[in-house]
Amino acid sequence: MLQLQRMRRVAGASCLLRRLSATGRSSTKNASFSEVLQLEDKKLTGVVFPLRGLEKYLAPDVNTASFRTFSPGLDDIRRAEALFKPSGRHVIDYFSSAVRMDHAPRLAQPEVCFVGRSNVGKSSLIKALFSLAPEVEVRVSKTPGHTKKMNFFKVGKYFTLVDMPGYGYRAPQDFADMVEAYLQERQNLKRTFLLVDSLVGLQKADHIAIEMLEEFGIPYVLVLTKIDKAPKGLLVKNVLEIQDFAEKHTQGCFPQLFPVSSIEYSGIHLLRCFIAHVTGNLPMMNS
């Protein structure tokens, strides 16, 4: 509690400065952790730890242990955010694109990638993660099948994020070759984020992706997207169903789900922290 109060005081000042300098930009409310720390406790919990925010809607006998598998302290989250903010020598930028593995850039630094059905919100999620570096161009679209190449974004010398074309709808012909080959061959791949639409839960195409990741023996994480659009009851139902499925039928899946909204920034701060952690850039202090 004391830690939270102290962080809120410091955050208040920097938040004001940010607001003053942010004129003219599109809405980025809650994009920065200092802003989130200004929220009242319940709202703060909902934005930073969306799963915990759902606990009040659950029956008392529901086991929520896996809601806290990854449970960083607020200071860990603040330290992780620094990696997602560009500064003098720390450059965050688009690096290159590839349609085949032999075109993929040779990068030794740790990498994470984002896969999932077309239109599920992969590019939007990367855009939200990079909201503190608005000059980084990440293209999103209402039209499914928008991202047609593997797009590599370098976060300084620390790690790389890879935006993938979606599967399922009008996927590029060589999608299977491109993404499957990447997942199988990429040596520096530390974690794969499989995005699932929180409004509809696991679909046939998602099950195929899960089977593929299980077969390749690749560690992956399920991210539930667009939670701002899902009524709470539906969200709770889908969270519990997916969690139950992951527990009973998967080996490589991280037990905790990561619900996110790329519009409201719910879950984005926690995900930044998780990415910093799995890429070896954030030893935990308070977990």
Residues in the site for ligand GTP, rule: CB under 6 A? 116, 118-124, 140-142, 144-147, 165-166, 225-226, 228-229, 261-263
Nearest to 109 by CA among 283, 278, 284: 278
Contact criterion met (CB below 8 Å) for 115 and 192? yes
> Which tokens is 119 given?
């239109």
Please list the helix, strand and coil fractions of the chain in percent, rounded to the nearest 5, in that order: 40, 15, 45
Among 30, 32, 123, 261, interactor with Mg ion by CB under 5 A: 123
Compute CA 94 distance to the chain's CA centroid, rounded to the nearest angstrom.
17
Half-sphere exposure of 75 toward its Cβ, with a 13 Å CA cutoff? Answer: 11
Minimum gap (Å) between residue 200 Cβ and ligand GTP: 13
Half-sphere exposure of 184 toward its Cβ, with a 13 Å CA cutoff? Answer: 12
69 interface partner picked from Mg ion, ligand GTP, none, CB below 5 to 8 A per type: none
Instruction: Round to whole Å and give the CA distance between 237 and 199.
Output: 10
> Which tokens is 96 given?
């290159």
Closer to ligand GTP by CB, 79 or 117: give it.
Answer: 117
Minimum gap (Å) between residue 235 Cβ and ligand GTP: 12
Closer to ligand GTP by CB, 242 or 282: give it.
Answer: 242
**Span near Mg ion by CB under 5 A; candidates 6-14, 24-32, 106-114, 120-128:** 120-128
121 interface partner picked from ligand GTP, Mg ion, none, CB below 5 to 8 A per type: ligand GTP
Residue of closest CB approach to ligand GTP? 166
Closer to ligand GTP by CB, 127 or 190: give it.
Answer: 127
Chain residues binding Mg ion by CB under 5 A are: 122-123, 146-147
